[in-house]
C-alpha cells in the first residue's frame, strides 16, 4: 500500500490516493456524518504531548493544556487521561474540565476579567492556582476567598515586554497589551499580594504570545522572569513554581517551530545555569497539542469562474473556520481524493455573506462540485471559536483512534440554535 504523510501531519496521509486520518479514510466519514466535519487524531494529540513530556523528563513539571484551543469534552478527556492539568479562562471551561474527568487541583485559571462568581466556583472545587493579572483582581480575589474562609493560591502574570514575533492579535507580552502586570511593578504588587489575608502566593507566570516559531523570545522571556523571581524572593516572598505560559507554534505553511523537547532542552539548560533547575515548572500549551491533529472536511458546492478570480464555494465558512478572516491565517486545503488533470487557481470561500468569508486564497486545485476538501491544521482555535453567524449550526466532530471512529459532538441543528430564544406574546 502506498502512503504519503503530509508535512507536519504524521497521522494524516494519502493511502492509495485517499486521504486518511490514522487508519480511517476521510471520505467515509464525510459520507456517514456529513460536512462540515471536524476530525481529530488521538494519536497526533498524544504524540504532540509526548514531545513536551520528553522535554520535562526527570523534572517537577506540570503540563496544563490551554483548552481554549479546543474545549470539546472528548479532547479534554484525552489530555486528562494522559495526566495533563488545564489552563482555563472561564467558569464554563472549568465546568468542561470537571465534566471530562479532569483534576481540579491541576487547573490554573488565567484571564484579565474573572468575575467574583467564577472565583468562588474555582475556590469551591479547589483549583491549583489563579493566574492573576492586576492589583484590582488580587484585592477582589482575597475578599472572595476570605469570605469563604479560604486562601486562594495565586501567581502573578508578569509582562516580560518581549516581542514574540507573531501576529499582533496573538501577541500578548508587550507593553500596551491588556494582559499581566508590568515587569517594573511586579515586586510591589507581589508584596501587596503577600499581605492580603485571602491569598497565598505560590508562583509566577508569563505569556508572550501564540504561534511562536522561534526559540529566542522564550529564552529572553525566561531571563526576564528569572530576574524577577530573584528580586521577589529577595523581598521576602517565596515563589514555588514558574509557569512559562503558552506552547509552541505549529507548521501551518512551512513554518518551522522547534520541537517541544528541543525547546525545553534549551530552556532547562538556562534554568540550571541560573540555579532554578529544581523549581516546579509549568507550561500551558494549546495550539501545539491539537492544531495539527485536526482537519475540517467540507464539500465543494459550486465552482464560479470570474474575470479576476475563480471561486471555489464550499460548505464550511468563517463561522466554522474563523482564523483566516480574523488573522489572515493560512490553512492548507487538499482534496480527499486526488484527480488526474490540470489544476485551476481558486479563492476557496464559504457561503457567509461577507467578503471576509474566505478559507484560502489563490489555491491550485483540481476539483468538481461534490468533491470533499480537507482544511488542515484545524484542530486548534477553529471549533472552539466557531459561531452561529448567518444562523449556521456548528459542525459535528469525530475523534479517530486507530481504526475506531467516535462521534464526539453531534451536528448542531437549527432547532438547537433557537432553543434559548423567546417570542414576546
Number of chain positions touching ligand LLP (CB under 6 A): 20
Among 311, 327, 330, 389, contact with ligand LLP (rule: CB under 6 A): 327
Residues 6+ apart with CB under 8 A from 48: 260, 288, 289, 290, 292, 293
The distance of closest approach from Cβ of residue 169 to ligand LLP in the complex, given in angstroms and rounded to an integer, is 7
Cis peptide before 36 (omega within 30 of 0): yes
**What is d(CA 117, CA 114) in angstroms, rounded to the nearest whole number?**
8
The distance of closest approach from Cβ of residue 212 to ligand LLP in the complex, given in angstroms and rounded to an integer, is 7
Which of 84, 296, 312, 353 is catalytic? The answer is 353
The answer to whether 353 is a known catalytic residue is: yes
Give me the residue whose beta carbon is nearest to ligand LLP: 246
Q: How many CB atoms lie within 10 A of CB 288?
A: 28
Among 106, 279, 323, 331, contact with ligand LLP (rule: CB under 6 A): 323
Q: Which stretch binds ligand LLP (CB under 6 A): 116-124, 205-213, 272-280, 354-362?
A: 205-213
Q: Does 69 bind ligand LLP (CB under 6 A)?
A: yes
Cβ nearer to ligand LLP, comparing 8 with 286: 286
The distance of closest approach from Cβ of residue 405 to ligand LLP in the complex, given in angstroms and rounded to an integer, is 26
Q: Residue 97 phi/psi, 5° resolution?
A: -55, -45
Cβ nearer to ligand LLP, comparing 322 with 393: 322
Q: Does 87 bind ligand LLP (CB under 6 A)?
A: yes
Q: Residue 374 phi/psi, 5° resolution?
A: -110, 125
Q: Does 331 bind ligand LLP (CB under 6 A)?
A: no
Ramachandran category for residue 245: left, alpha or beta (phi over 0 → left; psi -120 to 50 → alpha): left
The distance of closest approach from Cβ of residue 411 to ligand LLP in the complex, given in angstroms and rounded to an integer, is 23
Cβ nearer to ligand LLP, comparing 153 with 405: 153
Q: Retrieve residue 90's grid coordinates.
A: 472561564
Task: Give 415: exposed, middle or buried? Use CB within 10 Å, 0-12, 13-18, 19+.
Answer: exposed
Cβ nearer to ligand LLP, comparing 27 with 360: 360
**What is d(CA 202, CA 251) in angstroms, rounded to the nearest whole number?**
35
Our measurement of the distance from residue 278's CA atom to the centroid of its chain's CA atoms, rounded to an integer in Å, reads 28
The distance of closest approach from Cβ of residue 409 to ligand LLP in the complex, given in angstroms and rounded to an integer, is 19
Cβ nearer to ligand LLP, comparing 35 with 384: 384
Q: Does 66 bind ligand LLP (CB under 6 A)?
A: yes
Cβ nearer to ligand LLP, comparing 22 with 284: 284
Our measurement of the distance from residue 352's CA atom to the centroid of its chain's CA atoms, rounded to an integer in Å, reads 25
Residues 6+ apart with CB under 8 A from 39: 21, 24, 26, 29, 294, 295, 296, 297, 397, 398, 400
Among 161, 381, 386, 396, contact with ligand LLP (rule: CB under 6 A): 381
Q: Does 210 bind ligand LLP (CB under 6 A)?
A: yes
Q: Does 313 bind ligand LLP (CB under 6 A)?
A: no
β-strand 294-304 against 311-314: which pairing, if any?
antiparallel
Q: Does 211 bind ligand LLP (CB under 6 A)?
A: yes
Among 110, 251, 298, 319, contact with ligand LLP (rule: CB under 6 A): 110
Q: Does 180 bind ligand LLP (CB under 6 A)?
A: no
Footprint (CB under 6 A) of ligand LLP, residues 220-249 = 245-247
Q: Does 159 bind ligand LLP (CB under 6 A)?
A: no
The distance of closest approach from Cβ of residue 172 to ligand LLP in the complex, given in angstroms and rounded to an integer, is 6
Angle subtended at Cα 384 by Cα 250 and Cα 6, rounded to the nearest 5 degrees: 35
Longest CA–CA separation in the chain, Å: 72
Among 75, 170, 263, 336, contact with ligand LLP (rule: CB under 6 A): 170
DSSP class per residue in 37-91: EEEEEHHHHHHHHHHHHHHTTTS-EEEEEEGGG---HHHHHHHHHTT-EEEESSH
Cβ nearer to ligand LLP, comparing 90 with 110: 110
The distance of closest approach from Cβ of residue 235 to ligand LLP in the complex, given in angstroms and rounded to an integer, is 25
Footprint (CB under 6 A) of ligand LLP, residues 273-312 = 284-288
Q: Measuring CA to CA, which residue among 365, 359, 303, 305 is closest to residue 334?
A: 365
Cβ nearer to ligand LLP, comparing 11 with 218: 218
Taking CA atoms, 250 is separated from 9, 324, 370, in Å, by: 10, 16, 30
**What is d(CA 270, CA 267) in angstroms, rounded to the nearest whole number?**
5
Q: Retrieve residue 354's grid coordinates.
A: 461577507
Contact residues for ligand LLP (CB under 6 A)?
Answer: 66, 69, 87, 110, 170, 172, 207, 210-211, 245-247, 284-288, 323, 327, 381
Active site residues: 353
Amino acid at each position: 500500500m502506498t502512503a504519503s504523510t503530509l508535512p507536519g501531519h504524521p497521522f494524516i496521509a494519502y493511502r492509495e490516493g485517499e486521504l486518511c486520518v490514522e487508519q480511517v479514510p476521510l471520505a467515509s466519514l464525510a459520507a456517514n456524518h456529513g460536512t462540515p466535519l471536524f476530525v481529530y487524531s488521538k494519536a497526533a494529540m498524544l504524540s504532540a504531548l509526548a514531545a513536551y513530556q520528553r522535554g520535562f523528563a526527570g523534572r517537577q513539571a506540570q503540563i496544563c493544556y490551554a483548552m481554549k484551543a479546543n474545549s470539546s469534552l472528548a479532547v479534554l478527556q484525552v489530555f486528562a487521561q494522559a495526566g495533563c492539568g488545564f489552563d482555563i479562562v472561564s467558569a464554563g471551561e472549568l465546568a468542561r474540565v470537571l465534566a471530562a474527568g479532569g483534576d481540579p487541583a491541576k487547573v490554573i485559571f488565567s484571564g484579565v476579567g474573572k468575575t467574583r462568581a467564577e472565583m468562588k466556583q474555582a475556590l469551591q472545587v479547589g483549583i491549583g492556582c489563579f493566574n492573576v493579572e492586576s492589583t484590582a483582581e488580587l484585592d477582589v480575589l482575597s475578599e472572595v476567598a476570605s469570605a469563604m474562609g479560604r486562601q486562594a493560591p495565586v501567581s502573578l502574570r508578569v509582562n516580560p515586554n518581549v516581542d514574540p514575533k507573531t501576529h499582533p492579535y496573538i501577541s500578548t507580552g508587550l507593553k500596551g497589551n491588556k494582559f499581566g502586570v508590568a515587569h517594573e511593578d511586579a515586586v510591589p504588587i507581589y508584596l501587596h499580594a503577600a499581605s492580603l489575608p485571602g491569598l497565598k502566593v505560590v508562583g509566577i507566570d508569563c505569556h508572550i504570545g501564540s504561534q511562536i516559531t522561534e526559540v529566542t523570545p522564550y529564552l529572553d522571556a525566561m531571563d526576564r522572569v528569572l530576574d524577577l523571581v530573584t528580586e521577589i524572593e529577595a523581598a521576602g516572598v517565596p515563589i514555588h513554581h514558574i509557569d512559562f505560559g503558552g506552547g509552541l507554534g505549529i507548521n501551518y505553511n512551512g513554518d518551522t517551530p522547534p520541537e517541544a523537547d528541543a525547546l525545553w532542552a534549551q530552556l532547562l539548560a538556562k534554568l540550571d545555569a541560573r540555579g532554578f533547575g529544581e523549581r516546579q515548572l509549568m507550561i500551558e500549551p494549546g495550539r501545539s497539542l491539537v492544531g495539527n491533529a485536526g482537519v475540517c472536511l467540507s464539500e465543494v458546492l459550486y465552482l464560479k469562474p470570474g474575470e479576476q478570480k475563480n471561486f471555489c464555494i464550499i460548505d464550511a465558512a468563517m463561522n466554522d473556520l474563523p482564523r483566516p478572516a480574523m488573522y489572515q491565517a493560512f490553512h492548507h486545503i487538499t482534496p480527499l481524493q486526488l484527480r488526474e488533470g490540470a489544476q485551476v487557481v481558486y479563492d476557496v470561500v464559504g457561503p457567509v455573506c461577507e467578503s471576509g468569508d474566505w478559507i484560502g486564497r489563490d489555491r491550485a486545485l483540481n476539483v468538481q462540485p461534490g468533491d470533499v476538501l480537507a482544511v488542515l491544521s484545524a484542530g486548534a482555535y477553529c471549533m472552539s471559536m466557531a459561531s452561529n453567524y448567518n444562523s449556521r449550526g456548528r459542525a459535528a466532530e469525530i475523534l479517530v483512534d486507530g481504526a475506531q471512529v467516535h462521534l464526539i459532538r453531534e451536528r448542531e441543528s437549527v432547532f438547537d440554535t433557537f432553543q434559548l430564544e423567546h417570542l414576546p406574546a
